Structure 1
Amino acid sequence: MISPEYVLTMARYNAWQNRQMKVAVEPLPSAALTEDRGAFFGSILGTLNHLLWGDATWMARFDGGEKPAGGIPESTDLMPSLSEWAVARFRIDARILHWAESLRAVDLAGDLRWYSGAVGAEVARPMALCITHMFNHQTHHRGQLHAMATAAGAEGWTSDLAFMSEEGPWL
């Protein structure tokens, strides 16, 4: 289904996108970041936080590291400010990159098992499918963020994977 090279490319793409997104939303006033814009997670900051929470949750499942507190309903309040979000985002992107750099083909085989708070049950799904889902989840919410940020007056950013530099910088 996927290869370690694909995972590394997507980890780099994730970091590249988040770096651009941070630059785009930094000039926005706090009120624009926290205004409810009718998105599923409300505001720009709420959606940024949910995406950060989702990545940290999936990485805890993948690498056995620390997972964030709370569940999906609490995910929007993970970081109270954009500056705190930016530090946490940098750290999780570095964690994803480090994990992806050490991934082997055998690590993509078999099932991942975890307790899902979203469905209230133990779940088992193919590891490759779960990894693909994490990257798809990122793309989905970054699309929402792009729409909200540009509607708030921010400059858009380049999201085309084909235009990502092969040399970085990733972070």
Structure 2
Amino acid sequence: MPNPAYCQAMARYNLWQNDNLITAANTLSEAERHKDRGAFFGSIQRTFSHLAWGDTIWFSRFADIQPPDLAIADSAQYLPEWEAYCLRRKDLDRQILAWAKEVPEAWFNGDLSWYSGAIERDVTKPKFLLVMQFFNHQTHHRGQIHAMLTAAGARPGDTDIPFMPESYAVL
């Protein structure tokens, strides 16, 4: 079950992997990052954009941050410019890590209710389940990005949690 220690480990992993993929993506031209590669959101950039949108939407349900004013259908256009994406990603990852360090154990015991634009209805689910969804959604889309980067000739680093560098493990 998710708890503060789980959230802290996953927030560190999230930060590490986003740094990893951004570093690899920085070796590509803008045209290569925007090239349609047949993935669900098309390009590397659009998938990064959706991922930041999704993280912001989910995280706004856990913490006091403003959700994007953009529907899921437009999420691939949330941050279409690379530099803006990189700045927002770094800031968001730091906010997620700060939240994980402060969230009390008791927070995971309750339910969370919200209106889902994806299924167009009100939803109530256990918070622990939604935290699992939050981190799983990140991993899912980073896997897509990793595959596209590799196909484009970029070389992302390790992705396995046990090989997370000590510099991230102690943040």
Provide the TM-score with structure 2 as the length reference.
Answer: 0.96
Any unmatched runs of 5+ in structure 1?
none
CA distance in 2, matches of 1:38, 1:55: 23
1:69-105 CA distances to partner (integer Å, 9 max, x unpaired)? 2111111111122111100101110110111010111
Paired residue secondary structure (2:122): strand
When the two chains are superposed, the root-mean-square deviation of aligned CA atoms in Å is 1.4
Distance in 1, matches of 2:166 and 2:111, equals 31
Q: Among all aligned residue pairs of Structure 1 and Structure 2, give the percentage whose two residues are the same amino acid.
A: 44
Structure 2: runs of 5+ lacking an equivalent? none
- Any residues of structure 2 matched to 1:7-46 within 5 Å, and which? 7-46=7-46
Bigger drift between 65-74 and 13-22 goes to 65-74
Matched positions, count: 171
Cα 1:169–1:85 change in 2 (3 A) is farther
Q: Within 2, Cα distance between the matches of 1:167 and 1:29?
A: 29
In the alignment, what sits opposite 1:105? 105
**Structure 1 residues 145 and 156 mapped into 2: Cα distance closer, same or farther (>3 Å)?**
same
Q: Give the letter aligned to residue 25 of structure 2.
A: V
Q: CA deviation at 1:166?
A: 4.0
Query: Could you say which residue in structure 2 is the equivalent of 1:4?
Result: 4
Distance change >3 Å, CA 170–CA 147, structure 1 → 2: farther
What amino acid is the match of 1:144? Q
The question of 1:49 aligning with 2:49 is answered yes
**Secondary structure of the residue that 2:168 maps to in structure 1?**
coil
Partner of 1:152: 152
**Match of residue 118 from structure 1:** 118
Please list the CA deviations of residues 15-34 of structure 1 after superposition, one character each: whole Å capped at 9, or x if unmatched.
Answer: 01001111100120111111
Q: Deviations over 1:136-170 (max 9, x none)?
A: 00000011000000101111221000111344278
